[in-house]
Amino acid sequence: MVTLYKAKAKASLVGATLTLDIDSTDYEVNGLSRYKQKIAFVSGALPGEKVQARVLEDKPGFIKARTSKVLSPVVERQEPFCPHFNQCGGCQLQYLDNNQQARLKQQGVDQLIRHQTGLAVLPWQPMLSGPDTNYRRKARLGVWYDKKTRQLSVGFRAEGSKNISEISECSMLSPMLTPALTVLPPVIKALADPAAITHLEVFSANQRPYVVVRHVKPLTAAAQQEFIQSWPEAYFLGDEGNDSLQPWQADTPVPGYTLAAQQIDLQFQPGDFIQINEAVNQQMVTQALAWLEVNPDDTILDLYAGMGNFSLPLARYAKTVQGIEGVAKMVQQAATNAKLNGLNNASFAQADLHLPWPDAPWRGQHYTKIVLDPARAGAKGAIEQIAALKAAQILYVSCNAATFARDASVLLAKGYQLQKLAAIDMFPHTSHLELMALFSASVSASSKSAPAKK
């Protein structure tokens, strides 16, 4: 019998604590170092620091680790202001001033995009930003009841864990929503079966707080009243895990918000996607209109249109706007919002934009300008079809720099030029940085970004 040699598997570093010197940061503000022949991505570490970090992942070419102790801090490091910083998995850049956070985020994104696209210089415009606290108008709170210990936890996921980190305050939440952290837990704990509540969704709309109580077992009318009486200012809705929400108060209005600069009122349903930073969203919409220089002759295609956050402001100034959205109920909501605002030049249709586009009337139109605001996966599968429409301008709003860089490379290869680029600090104190980019099919030579020399 032949005995084959089999190399012994290398021991995994997962769980080990390494001492690392941090050289720089990536686009998510993870510290970068090297351990033997591997790149080390280290959360919670800054350039110039020496840290001890616990390894979370060990892959053939890289490791991921989390800082457990800072041995030599840089002067920019500060004490986090949130008492839950070490437990909550939310705002993990509080060890830096917000201006420094924004600088490092944009620096990392700049390097990523230039590396992926081959552009030597990016046409950065001023960053869009707002208040760095009390900016969230929507949040999801986890609820966990331990039947053995009879302990209830209401809060956010703990960092690197599925466990709920119980919190009593959150500096990122709108003050209108913060009572949810103190007045609702006692009500849940007093229920006959607290485990029936799986999570809470809170958001502000119409200058009032709303609470969606997600529960897997029916709640009695008396239990519903306990919730309402605990927070009389809030509107409550409940379900039993089937996404069919029922208001608990008869006078509950449809949620909505206003884009004041464009005089647009937008209604939405609980569970619909909305931009959680109201101040920055208004800036974002205003800048989109300014960059595109929308005029009465424009025919505009708005992809991933949602409930009309961009479509309807565009329709105020354009000849026509065609919105395309993948979720049927959002298409219906966008059409309702168009009617609500008296905009007869905006229409909406459903399509999965990542698949080959259907032979539909909207596809055969000529569009002068295109707007797209996809989810974190970007526009893979759609970007080639977008380029084939040969619009004069394409405005791309992105919530993921890596997928944006991938899609931007396609547009550049198809002859488009990157004319303007702006960072959008939608989520201060987190590693997320959103982007707005304007691509043009024909721009003056003076405004072109030069490709990198090879």
Is residue 82 part of the annotated active site? The answer reads: no
Phi, psi of 412 (to 5 degrees): -65, -40
Q: Is 203 exposed, middle or buried (0-12, 13-18, 19+ CB in 10 A)?
A: buried
Phi, psi of 139 (to 5 degrees): -160, 155
Run of H or E residues at 215: strand 208-215
Question: Which residue shows structure tokens 């104190």?
Answer: 429
Contacts of 129 (CB under 8 A, 6+ apart): 102, 280, 424, 425, 428
Catalytic residue among 82, 88, 91, 399: 399
Contacts of 244 (CB under 8 A, 6+ apart): none
Strand partners, 142: 155, 199
Q: Is 399 exposed, middle or buried (0-12, 13-18, 19+ CB in 10 A)?
A: buried
CA proximity to 347, closest of 362, 328, 326: 362
Secondary structure class of 260 (helix, strand, coil): helix
CA proximity to 113, closest of 379, 406, 425: 406
* Structural Rg of the chain based on CA atoms: 25
State the Cα–Cα distance between residues 190 and 428, nearest whole angstrom: 36
Task: For strands 299-303 and 369-372, give the pairing.
Answer: parallel
Strand partners, 242: none
Both tokens assigned to 250: 């008869």
CA proximity to 245, closest of 217, 269, 262, 224: 269
State the Cα–Cα distance between residues 417 and 411, nearest whole angstrom: 8
Run of H or E residues at 337: helix 328-340
Task: For strands 38-43 and 31-35, give the pairing.
Answer: antiparallel
Active site (catalytic) residues: 399
